[in-house]
């Protein structure tokens, strides 16, 4: 490991210790915003500092083993033990060095944020709407397996029990980090239940993953740019929801964006959720506009979020799922639809990490 990197890691360890002391001070504990900011920084640095300390320990073990080997002389047993310990320490150093490189990669500031997930039926009519429901259940099961909380915000059901559109909020640490690569067009190939000839149909849905924005990053919205309508919620939600005008529809007049929330009984809560979703959509639109001016290779990055891109195909007759961005095919369709998304998301994250490591090496 380069001396410059070791110096950087030593500075990180000093900062980690400094934050630990600050968090125990009464004046910091009394300032909720500062305490929250420092706590988040402490949590982020914790795995890096622990890995660095483990690397230092392995380095000490290696140097000690090398010293014993140098002094072993004709003592074959001592030399053998020293070589074994030396080999183990060098292996551990290599492993920890690779782990430190990953931990030092540029971090997406949105990775720990909650998300809004939007699933919409695309080409394929009723079959696309039914597949949208399958996808939404897949994400709901994955969220449950991660211990995250899912709140249904709005839904537009089809006649056969699918979704023309469904929007939900997922609350949980790392939600965006794990699901951000899901944005794009998802294609399905299967025989619809209404198909009497047994022919395979192809249909598609689009998925959008939006990081929920906090007040610091939120785009300013002038009150005069909004039209806010209340209406009576439809569908599931309980008798109270269906008999009061608690649902909220917000139209952002300059852009024409429309968001709805009808899940909460409280009109105030629905308005807050809808405004948060609007903020996220506006921020994503601005980021997409800026990204268009960037380098050509952005389109090749994993998880570019281009919704016109066919990112994945679910082939039911063959029981396989193919992610076209990295050429990955797994023959575990049932497992994936049951919520075992790590079969796909883990390789995508590894691909992105490898890309970042390669870019870092060129700098």
pLDDT tens digits, one per residue of 230-249: 887 765 444 444 456 778 88
Task: Name the domain boundary from 69, 103, 137.
Answer: 103
| Residue 99 resides in a domain | yes
Query: What is the predicted pLDDT for the residue at 71?
Result: 87
Cα dihedral across residues 12, 14, 17, 21: positive or negative: negative
Record the tokens describing residue 236, joined without a space. Answer: 């599931």
* Pair 34, 160 in one domain: no
347-363 pLDDT tens trace:
888 888 777 777 665 44
The strand pairing partners of 185, in sequence order, are: 206, 310
29-72 pLDDT tens trace:
999 889 988 998 898 889 899 999 999 999 999 999 999 988 88
Surface-to-core class of residue 342, CB atoms within 10 Å of its CB (0-12 exposed, 13-18 middle, 19+ buried): middle
Query: What is the predicted pLDDT for the residue at 300?
Result: 37
| Residue 161 resides in a domain | yes
| Residue 109 resides in a domain | no
Helical H segments across the chain, by residue range = 3-23, 26-30, 32-71, 76-103, 125-145, 175-179, 239-242, 267-291, 333-337, 342-362
* Pair 210, 306 in one domain: yes
124 has pLDDT over 70: yes
| Residue 296 resides in a domain | no
CATH number at residue 94: 1.20.58
The strand pairing partners of 168, in sequence order, are: 117, 152
* Pair 176, 56 in one domain: no
Query: What is the predicted pLDDT for the residue at 363?
Result: 45
Segments forming the whole domain that contains residue 353? 115-216+301-357
Cα dihedral across residues 123, 139, 284, 356: positive or negative: negative
Nearest to 170 by CA among 191, 150, 189: 150
The overall average pLDDT reported for the chain is 83
109 has pLDDT over 90: no
Nearest to 221 by CA among 264, 246, 255: 255
* Pair 317, 248 in one domain: no
For residue 186, how far is the Cα from the chain centroid?
17
Record the tokens describing residue 103, joined without a space. Answer: 């931990």
130-156 pLDDT tens trace:
999 999 999 999 999 999 999 998 889
Q: What DSSP assignment string belongs to 15-27? A: HHHHHHHHHTSHH
* Pair 231, 273 in one domain: yes
* Pair 124, 208 in one domain: yes
C-alpha 333/C-alpha 314 separation (Å) is 7
| Residue 362 resides in a domain | no
Query: What is the predicted pLDDT for the residue at 304?
Result: 40
Query: What is the predicted pLDDT for the residue at 143?
Result: 96
* Pair 282, 155 in one domain: no
Task: Name the domain boundary from 103, 129, 158.
Answer: 103
Record the tokens describing residue 342, joined without a space. Answer: 């790590």
Phi, psi of 155 (to 5 degrees): -150, 145
C-alpha 255/C-alpha 240 separation (Å) is 33
Record the tokens describing residue 116, joined without a space. Answer: 């809004």
| Residue 125 resides in a domain | yes
Phi, psi of 254 (to 5 degrees): -65, -35
* Pair 203, 305 in one domain: yes
Query: What is the predicted pLDDT for the residue at 238?
Result: 42
Is the distance from CB of 202 to CB of 124 less than 8 angstroms?
yes
C-alpha 163/C-alpha 270 separation (Å) is 21
* Pair 338, 196 in one domain: yes
Task: Name the domain boundary from 246, 269, 290.
Answer: 290
C-alpha 342/C-alpha 179 separation (Å) is 10
Query: What is the predicted pLDDT for the residue at 256?
Result: 86
Helices 3-23 and 32-71 sit at what angle, rounded to 10 degrees? Answer: 140
Query: What is the predicted pLDDT for the residue at 212?
Result: 83
Query: What is the predicted pLDDT for the residue at 235?
Result: 53
Phi, psi of 304 (to 5 degrees): -65, -20
| Residue 82 resides in a domain | yes
Number of domains, the chain: 3
167-213 pLDDT tens trace:
999 999 889 999 999 999 999 999 887 676 778 889 999 999 988 87
Is the distance from CB of 138 to CB of 201 less than 8 angstroms?
no
Picking from 1-5, 249-253, 327-331, 338-342, which range would have the lowest pLDDT averaged per residue?
1-5
228-251 exposure pattern, b = at least 16 Cβ within 10 A, e = fewer: eeeeebeeebeeebeeeebbbbbb
Nearest to 127 by CA among 182, 184, 186, 190: 190
322 has pLDDT over 90: yes
Surface-to-core class of residue 300, CB atoms within 10 Å of its CB (0-12 exposed, 13-18 middle, 19+ buried): exposed
- Identify the residue whose tokens are 């360890």: 13
C-alpha 155/C-alpha 261 separation (Å) is 9
CATH number at residue 199: 3.30.70.1660
Query: What is the predicted pLDDT for the residue at 360?
Result: 60
- Per-residue confidence band for 110, with pLDDT thresholds at 50, 70 and 90: confident
| Residue 162 resides in a domain | yes
* Pair 210, 227 in one domain: no
Query: When comparing pLDDT for 195 and 284, which is higher?
Result: 284
Query: What is the predicted pLDDT for the residue at 303?
Result: 39
Is the distance from CB of 218 to CB of 146 less than 8 angstroms?
no
* Pair 142, 248 in one domain: no
249-275 pLDDT tens trace:
889 888 888 888 887 677 888 888 888
* Pair 135, 260 in one domain: no
């Amino acid at each position: 490991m380069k001396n410059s990197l070791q110096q950087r890691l030593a500075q990180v360890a000093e900062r980690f210790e400094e934050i630990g002391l600050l968090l125990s001070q009464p004046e910091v504990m009394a300032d909720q915003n500062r305490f929250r900011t420092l706590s988040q920084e402490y949590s982020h640095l914790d795995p890096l500092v622990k890995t660095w300390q483990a690397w230092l320990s392995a380095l000490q073990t290696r140097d000690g083993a090398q010293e014993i080997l140098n002094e072993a002389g004709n003592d074959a047993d001592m030399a053998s033990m020293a070589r074994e310990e030396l080999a183990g320490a060098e292996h551990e150093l290599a492993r920890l060095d690779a782990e430190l490189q990953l931990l030092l990669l540029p971090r997406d500031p949105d990775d720990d944020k909650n998300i809004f997930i939007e699933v919409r039926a695309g080409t394929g009519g009723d079959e696309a709407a039914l597949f949208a429901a399958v996808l939404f259940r897949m994400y709901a099961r994955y969220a449950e397996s991660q211990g995250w909380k899912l709140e249904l915000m709005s839904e537009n059901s089809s006649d056969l029990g699918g979704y023309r559109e469904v929007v939900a909020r997922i609350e949980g640490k790392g939600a965006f980090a794990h699901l951000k690569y899901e944005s794009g067009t998802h294609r399905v190939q299967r025989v619809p239940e209404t198909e009497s000839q047994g022919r395979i149909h192809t249909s598609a849905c689009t998925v959008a993953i939006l990081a929920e924005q906090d007040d610091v990053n939120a785009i300013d919205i002038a009150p005069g740019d909004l039209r806010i309508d209340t209406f009576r919620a439809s569908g599931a939600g309980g008798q109270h929801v269906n008999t009061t005008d608690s649902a909220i529809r917000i139209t952002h007049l300059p852009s024409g964006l429309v968001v709805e929330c009808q899940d909460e009984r409280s009109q105030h809560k629905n308005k807050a959720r809808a405004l948060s979703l609007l903020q996220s959509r506006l921020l994503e639109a601005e980021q997409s506009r800026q990204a268009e001016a960037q380098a050509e290779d952005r389109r090749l990055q994993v998880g570019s979020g281009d919704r016109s891109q066919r990112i994945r195909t679910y082939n039911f007759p063959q029981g396989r799922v193919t992610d076209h961005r990295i050429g990955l095919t797994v023959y575990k369709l049932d497992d994936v639809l049951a919520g075992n998304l790590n079969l796909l998301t883990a390789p995508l994250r590894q691909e992105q990490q490898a890309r970042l490591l390669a870019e870092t090496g060129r700098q």
